[in-house]
Chains A and B, each alone.
Chain A
Amino acid sequence: MPKANISNHIRRLRFENGEMTQQELATRVGCTRQTIIVLEKERYVPSLSLAFLIAGVFGKTIEDVFEFSPDD
């Protein structure tokens, strides 16, 4: 199974949504602020359910928030 690179636009979407803080997003999706920080730094790939929750907060689909690019 190839290793997947998953990037995201969480940081940009937070600022486009009234400069939402990391803590506010974390509270709304039920995770810690540290997880939001590592998500934005792309050092952590979330579960599908967390990805859905994050996309839901911004009113977007998963594809709008996360981008999948399999390694060669």
Chain B
Amino acid sequence: MSAVWITVAVLAGAACIAALARFVWSLRPQREMGGMPPAPLERLGWIGLGVTAVVGLGLVCLVVLVGTDFIKRDSTARGIFWLLMMSGIAVWALAWWTIKRRAGGTVVDERDRAILARSLSVESVVVLLTLVTWTVALTEAYSDEGTLPIEYLQLIFWSTFILGAFGRSLGIVMGYRREIVLDA
């Protein structure tokens, strides 16, 4: 891959992360809602955003520091990655259990379910964008060789998994900032 493409990719990635961070910041609870406490599912959405951001950045750091084949080649890096993944899932599950316990009564109602259903569209867009990005990048990088290193399969799966969860959390948080009219 040429230095130009790497520079373009890094700059585009940084711009995307900056734009995304700015957008997420704009979704924080507003004063117009009169200091309304977030719904249990909304809290889980924010926690999901945090967890997936940390795990995703951890994966990026491992790839940058160790290489794209860290899962196959480096047992320490592989251990760190699995620890990161399991910790992320454990934090998310513990957060949901704690939120449910504290909330008492109804935790997820019809409005939450409608928001959860709509968040799937955000997740789908994020997953599609992830796969398109991988396809374009790998095609550009390995078109001359005609074959792909096997380790990219793991990276494609895990990045799609993490970004899909990020997209679902983002969709949930976005849903609570919109007016909802049930059509049914």
Are A32 and B182 CB-contacts (below 8 A) given A26-B106, A27-B106?
no
Main SS of chain A's interface residues?
mixed
A47 at the interface (CB under 8 A from B): yes
Q: How many residues of B contact A (CB 8 A)?
A: 22
Question: A13-45 vs B: 1/0 string, CB under 8 Å?
Answer: 000000000010011001111110110010111
- Chain B residues with a Cβ under 8 A of chain A: 33-34, 36-40, 42, 103, 105-112, 179-182, 184
- Chain A residues with a Cβ under 8 A of chain B: 3-4, 23, 26-27, 30-35, 37-38, 41, 43-47, 50
Cross-chain pairs A/B with CB under 8 angstroms, 18 sampled? A3-B181, A23-B105, A27-B105, A27-B106, A31-B110, A32-B103, A32-B106, A32-B107, A32-B111, A33-B37, A34-B39, A35-B39, A35-B109, A35-B110, A37-B33, A41-B33, A43-B180, A47-B110
